[in-house]
Amino acid sequence: MNDKIRIGIAGYGNLGRGVEMALKRNPDMELVGVFTRRDPSSVNLLDATVPVHAMDEIAAFKESIDVLILCGGSKDDLPVQGPAMAKLFNTIDSFDTHAKIPEYFGAVDQAAKGSKRTAIISVGWDPGMFSLNRLYGEAALPEGETYTFWGKGVSQGHSDALRRVPGVVGAVQYTIPSEKAMDLVRSGSNPKLTTREKHTRECFVVLAEGADSKAVEQAIVTMPDYFSDYDTTVHFISAEELKRDHADMPHGGFVIRGGQTSKDCRQVIEYGLKLDSNPGFTSSVLVAYARAAYRMNRVGQTGAFTVFDVAPALLSSKSPEQLRKELL
Amino acid sequence: MNDKIRIGIAGYGNLGRGVEMALKRNPDMELVGVFTRRDPSSVNLLDATVPVHAMDEIAAFKESIDVLILCGGSKDDLPVQGPAMAKLFNTIDSFDTHAKIPEYFGAVDQAAKGSKRTAIISVGWDPGMFSLNRLYGEAALPEGETYTFWGKGVSQGHSDALRRVPGVVGAVQYTIPSEKAMDLVRSGSNPKLTTREKHTRECFVVLAEGADSKAVEQAIVTMPDYFSDYDTTVHFISAEELKRDHADMPHGGFVIRGGQTSKDCRQVIEYGLKLDSNPGFTSSVLVAYARAAYRMNRVGQTGAFTVFDVAPALLSSKSPEQLRKELL
C-alpha cells in the first residue's frame, strides 16, 4: 500500500523541473505525472519513469492526483489555468502579479469552493516567504516600518524589457539593493527612502551588429517604469560572455521591520534570502505548501488560501509532537 | 458598545509591564485588569486607571476577560499557573524551558480542552519567532542544516549563575555569537561547529569587599554547563558601572538555514533579531498571539497550541482582504 501524497506538475519549464527535483527531497510525496502543452514525447524529465501527458487530457487524472502544482507563468497561463484547475484538483501556484492578486484569489476561490478543493495561491518567496515576514513583522511590532529589498539577482521582467529595446539581441538585468540604505534601515531609524535610494540596476547587454551603443544605453536608462527611476549601469558584452557568465538565476533579498515597543526602544527584525537558484527555491517552497493543501483538504478546508492562512505545522512532514520536541 | 478584545495580565514584572505598553500599540485590544501576588496597592501601572487585583481573586473575572496573558517565570510560576489558568481563561504564555515543553503542553492541553478554552504556549522569540523560522526553513529546504545563534545579549540564566559564585555581589553576562562561525554558516557550506566555536561569553562582575578576583574568575570560567564549554572573559567593574552601563536588557540572535535544492546549488535563509529590549519584544509578540487565541476560541479551536499551529493571518488586526492586498 502506498500512502504517499500524489503530486502532478502542470507545465515543465524551470519551475516544473525545480518541483521535480524538490519532490526527491520530500520522501512523503511522489510525482505521478507531468502535463504539458508541448508534444509529450519532446519533454525529457530528470526521471524518465514518470509519465508525461498532454495538458488537455488532465481531467482524466482528477482522482489519481492529490495536489497539482501549477508551474505556468502569471501573465498568460495562471489567470486561466488557476480557476480551471481548481475545479478539478487541489492546487498550488506561484501567481505573482501583486496588483491582480485580489481578483485572481476571487476567481480561484469560487472554483475551489464549487469543487470542494483546496487551492493555495501566490506561493514562493515574494509573494510567499517575504509576505509572511511582512505580516509577522507588522504583528510583532505594530508601531514601525517595513522595508523590502530585492537582490542581488536577475529580474526576468527587467531582462525582458532590455530585450525589447531596438538594437539589443540579448540581455540580463541585475537588481542590486543599496548597502547604504539597508544599513540605515538596520539601524532601526526607519528612514524615508526614495525608489532611487533603495536599489540600483545593472544591465549586461549584447548589441545587434551595427547597433549604436550610445542610443541603446540612452533608450535603456530613460525607459519609464523599468529604469528611469533608478541609477542604471549598462555594460556591453559579447554573446559568448552573456552565455558564460550570466546563465544562472541567482536572487534573494531582505524584509526588514524596524519598530518601537516603547519610547527610544528600537527593535529590528531582518529576514534575508541568498539564493543560487530562484526557480529552485520557489519550487521547493511550492512543494512544502502542497503538503499543507493536501492536509487542509482532508479536514474540509476548501476554497482559495494564501500563505497567510496556512498554519506553519502543516508544511512539515514531522508530527506535531516531533515539532514541539525538536524545533520549538 | 465596546467590542475590543479584553486582556488581563497575570504577573507584573518586566514582561507584564511590556504587555501593558504593547497593548497601547494595538487599538483593537484593551487592558481590563492586572493580577498580582503582591499587595495590589503596591503595584503601580503605567496607566493608573487600570485596576490591580489580588491573584487569588482571579476566578471572579472568568467572564470579563477574553484572554489572560501569563507573565510569570517558566521555572516556578508557569508549571502551576499554566494549567490552572487554562481551566478559567484563554491564555498566552512564554514558557521557555525547552526540555519540559512536551510535558507542559500536555498539562495545559488537558486543562484547556476541559474548559473549552484556547491556550497558546511558549510564545515569544525563542521559543517563538525563532521556532517558526526553524520550521519554515526546514520545510522550504528539507536537505540542509539549521543553525541558531543567540546574542549579543544578556542571558538571565547565566547572570544568575554568576551571582551565585562566592565573592560576587552583582553581575551581568552577555552571550556573543561568533562572527566567524556565522560567516561560515552564511556561505551555505553547512559547517560542523562545536559549542565553543559558536558563541563566546562576556561577564561583568562586581566583587564583594575583600574577595579574591583570581579565585572568582577561576570559579566562573570552569563552571560546568554554564561556562566551561565556552571561551569566557571576565571583567571586574564597580557597582556604579554595573548600574550605569549594564542595566538594559538587549538581546537578539539569528536562525540560519543552509540547504541545497539541487547539486551544488546553495540556498541560504537568515532570520535575525536586534532587540534593544528583550522583554519589550517578547511581550509585544505575546499580545499578537492573544489576538489569535481570541479568534481561535471563537471558532471552537480549543486546547493547547503553539506558534506552529497558528495561521499567520490570525495575528494581524487587518482583514484577510487587506492582508492579501497590502502585504502579500
Q: What is the mean pLDDT of chain A?
A: 96
- Residue B172: enclosing H or E segment and its boundaries? strand B168-177
Closest CA–CA distance from residue A230 to any residue of chain B (Å): 24
The SS3 of residue A299 is coil
End-to-end Cα spacing for chain A: 33
Give the C-alpha separation, B266 to B261, whole Å: 7
- Which string of b and e fits B67-101 if b means at least 16 CB within 10 Å? bbbbbbbbeebbbebbbbbbbbbbbbbbbbeeeeb
What does DSSP say about strands A118-120 and A144-150: parallel, antiparallel, or unpaired?
A: unpaired
Peptide bond before B312: cis, by omega within 30 degrees of 0? no
pTM (two decimals): 0.96
Interface of A with B in 215-234 (CB under 8 A): none
pLDDT at B2: 64
pLDDT at A2: 64
- The amino acid occupying position B136 is Y
CB contact under 8 A, B281 and A267: yes
Partners of A43 in the β-ladder: none
Please give the grid coordinates belonging to residue A295.
Answer: 492536509
In angstroms, the Cα distances linking B17 to A262, B33, B53 are: 11, 12, 15
The residue in chain B having the minimum alpha-carbon distance to the alpha carbon of residue A282 is B140
Partners of A69 in the β-ladder: A9, A92
Compute the C-alpha angle A67/B261/A316, nearest 5°: 50
ipTM: 0.96
Q: By the CB < 8 Å criterion, does B276 face chain A?
A: yes
Interface of B with A in 4-33 (CB under 8 A): 18, 21-22, 25-26
Q: What is the mean pLDDT of chain B?
A: 96
From the CA atom positions of chain B, what is the Rg in Å? 22
The residue in chain A having the minimum alpha-carbon distance to the alpha carbon of residue B103 is A325
Asked if B84 and B117 count as a contact pair (C-beta separation under 8 A), the reply is no
Rounded mean pLDDT, A214-228: 96
- Which string of b and e fits A261-296 if b means at least 16 CB within 10 Å? bbeebbbbbbbbbbbbbbbbbbbbbbbbbbbbbbbb
Each residue's pLDDT tens digit, B102-152: 999 999 999 999 999 999 999 999 999 999 999 999 999 999 999 999 999
CB contact under 8 A, B267 and A261: no
Give the C-alpha separation, B256 to B185, whole Å: 7
Residue B1 has pLDDT above 50, yes or no: no
Each residue's pLDDT tens digit, B184-202: 999 999 999 999 999 999 9
Please give the grid coordinates belonging to residue B276.
Answer: 534593544
The residue in chain B having the minimum alpha-carbon distance to the alpha carbon of residue A135 is B327
The sign of the torsion formed by the CA atoms of A89, A92, A94, A98 equals: positive
Residue B58 has pLDDT above 90, yes or no: yes
φ, ψ for residue A266, nearest 5 deg: -95, 130
Give the C-alpha separation, B95 to A328, whole Å: 11
The SS3 of residue A100 is helix
Each residue's pLDDT tens digit, A272-302: 999 999 999 999 999 999 999 999 999 999 9
